[in-house]
């Protein structure tokens, strides 16, 4: 046999077997990875997950969440484990379907620091178009509209804690008043001023730079 032809045949055989071994190795790695995440491979924890995509500001209903079993090693410490902890609460951040809900995802007093004297204050603005460009965490100033439409400062530098959707805002506020509902975290004096202004004036907001 021609030595050159024999060497070429040998190298082709090595390359073919190398590809086959690589495929087998990759398949084994996938099997091992799936086995590691399999509920039967170790201890699991029951956690609350979103049953559908949920928008920030929605009031969570019983049909919006479900229980799922996840490997204990991948469950965050702040994961919610009881649906009653979140049903009826306002979601602070958007969550895709199947996402594990965390304690910090919910708008409660835990989102604001009592040490800093912060409170959650809801108010409405008439221009729902402005509300549509806002996001949880945005820094805003609130102004009242004077008799001639001129802006009058109410509070400055407050951060948005939640933006309830039109479907959810009536349930959250207990009212079906028009306008977009915004919930901010404010200091005690700001909270009182804003609450009083929202009962007497039409309000608008100024979006501040981060």
Q: Is residue 159 helix, strand or coil?
A: strand
Would you report the helix, strand and coil content of the chain in percent, each value rounded to 5? 40, 30, 30
Rounded-to-10 torsion of CA 128, 138, 61, 67: 150
Task: Give the DSSP letter string of 33-74.
Answer: HHHHHSGGGS-EEEEEEESS-B-TTPBPPGGGEEEEEEEGGG
Sequential pLDDT tens for the chain (210 residues): 544 454 455 445 445 444 554 555 455 455 445 555 555 568 999 999 999 998 766 778 899 999 999 999 999 998 999 999 999 887 776 789 999 999 877 876 555 554 466 788 888 888 878 888 888 888 999 999 877 778 899 999 998 887 776 544 444 444 445 678 888 888 889 989 998 998 888 899 999 876
How far, in Å, CA of 184 to CA of 107, rounded?
A: 10
How far, in Å, CA of 37 to CA of 46, rounded?
A: 14
- Sign of the Cα torsion 17, 23, 29, 35 reads negative
* pTM score above 0.85: no
């Amino acid at each position: 046999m021609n030595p050159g032809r024999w060497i070429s045949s040998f190298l082709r055989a090595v390359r073919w077997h190398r590809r086959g071994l690589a495929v087998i190795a990759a398949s084994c790695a996938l099997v091992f990875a799936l086995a590691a995440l399999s509920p039967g491979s170790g201890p699991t924890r029951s956690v609350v997950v979103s049953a559908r995509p949920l928008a920030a500001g929605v009031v969570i209903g019983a049909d919006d969440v479900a229980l799922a079993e996840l490997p204990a090693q991948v469950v965050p410490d702040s994961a919610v484990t009881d649906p009653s902890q979140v049903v009826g609460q306002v979601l602070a951040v958007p969550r895709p379907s199947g996402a594990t809900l965390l304690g910090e995802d919910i708008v409660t007093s835990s989102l604001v620091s009592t040490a800093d004297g912060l409170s959650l204050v809801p108010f409405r603005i008439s221009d729902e178009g402005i509300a549509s460009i806002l996001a949880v965490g945005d820094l805003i100033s609130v102004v009242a509209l004077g008799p001639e439409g001129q802006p009058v400062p109410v509070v400055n530098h407050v951060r948005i804690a939640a933006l309830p959707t039109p479907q959810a805002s009536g349930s959250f506020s207990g009212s079906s008043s028009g306008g977009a509902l915004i919930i901010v975290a404010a200091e005690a004096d700001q909270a009182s001023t804003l609450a009083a202004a929202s009962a007497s004036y039409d309000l608008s907001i100024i979006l501040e730079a981060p």
